[in-house]
Structure 1
């Protein structure tokens, strides 16, 4: 399976995709897509594409496998714009993005989407445990915390392995990502915010990592209902934003600033 954004991603199983065959799951995913044009990444055999084609709005389906591209154009070319391309090199210009993401390239696909600004809602079928992590079920991760000020991540259901062909060894999960109408941190400050988050995740406990980054960090934790034993993964989106604002205030006072390392989010 591909593991880098420099590798091509398509619909063939050898490229990492398990095709969706359960029409009940197809209907569930399509129902989560708001009104408006849709971009589908990795159309495969077109199970989702055919359902999306029933909509009045424009649908664009991206697929790398040339044989599947030809098949989709024959059957859906009159209703769907079928693009022969790598999903990791396509700009998301529609407000809605849908994808049965190849399990092996989930993180590159997420990074690719989150760095783009044109879309507002993404409905992604991922590996179950990955979907749970991205939705911060049981604690958040560096990637989610890095993008929380601008996106909401929600778990929209579990998909059994039997819904795919070939059948994978794990279940899938539907991740719903929506762009916030009002960001918790200005987008222009994404770099400094993500550097702070990366620094905070360097340690097992939050307090040692943020000491020197946030004024009166112990008092800040107490005010937030947290303790010196709090882990970075226990903070929610609002607390990460509050932590960043504390660091900004410290910088304004002329004290230390967040680390200069780029966040690999």
Structure 2
């Protein structure tokens, strides 16, 4: 049997954080898919919303207990391999910090869901929301999703207590994407982020995107652009 440490489990115990997650969920619609519900700290109150809840849990003991205690549909399995529904739904989860990036990559590529309310590591949440500079992953998906940090979650809100704070991160699918060609745009973003040159203008010029280079903000780096600026840069380079 796996224990909490082997599974990266940090169970949520803080009532204020649970309430904050529920307020974010209340802004969304549709059935709920919960990732890694653990001991049900979120599953139980989510069940009181009257919305259908599907919980995907890797720990067999937690899965069995959730079936006994809640009215949720509980799936025993790895949510990184879970096939998300194609109909509109909301994703909720207290994500193990060590698989946050893998979770986000899997989730962002999945169809169907319209909003996600996730507890992730504090610094990861800031990077996803572009606070202090965007990453390649964030820039690659910004035209399709709006990322926001809703609250900081202190380490003491979990048991066992992790070494860093968490955050409530929301991701909302844009009804009107800023870019149409996802594959082409994402190749472009990767080329810019990994390109050689001192600053964004030099990177674009060396890559042959002269019109985009002429427009690029002076002294900017790829991480400094907003979602709208990335979309415009793509249009100028196409």
TM over 0.5: yes
CA distance in 1 between partners of 2:185 and 2:157 (Å): 39
CA distance in 1 between partners of 2:157 and 2:148 (Å): 21
Deviation at 1:190, TM superposition (A): 1.0
Q: Does 1:17 align with 2:17?
A: no
Equivalent pair of 1:11/1:42 in contact (CA under 8 Å): no
Query: Partner residue of 2:230?
Result: 240
Query: Partner residue of 1:161?
Result: 155
Q: TM-score, normalised on structure 2?
A: 0.93
List aligned pairs for 1:54-133, cutoff 5 A.
Answer: 54-76=48-70, 79-93=71-85, 95-133=89-127
Query: Partner residue of 2:185?
Result: 193
Stretch deviating more after TM superposition (212-221 or 168-177): 212-221
Query: Partner residue of 1:263?
Result: none
1:161-180 Cα offsets, whole Å, 9 max, x none, are 01000001111011100000
Deviation at 1:23, TM superposition (A): 1.5
* RMSD of aligned residue pairs (Cα, Å): 1.4
Alignment CA distance shift 1:220-1:88 (3 Å) = same
Q: TM-score, normalised on structure 1?
A: 0.84
SS at match of 1:146: helix
SS at match of 2:210: coil
SS at match of 1:106: helix
Query: Partner residue of 1:259?
Result: none
CA distance in 2 between partners of 1:133 and 1:147 (Å): 13
Q: Aligned match of 1:216 in 211, 214, 218?
A: 211
Equivalent pair of 1:156/1:173 in contact (CA under 8 Å): yes
Q: Aligned match of 2:146 in 144, 152, 164?
A: 152
Structure 1 residue ranges without an equivalent (≥5): 1-9, 249-265
1:132-162 Cα offsets, whole Å, 9 max, x none, are 1111111111000000010001111100001
- Alignment: residue pair count: 230
Query: Partner residue of 1:252?
Result: none
CA distance in 2 between partners of 1:19 and 1:116 (Å): 26
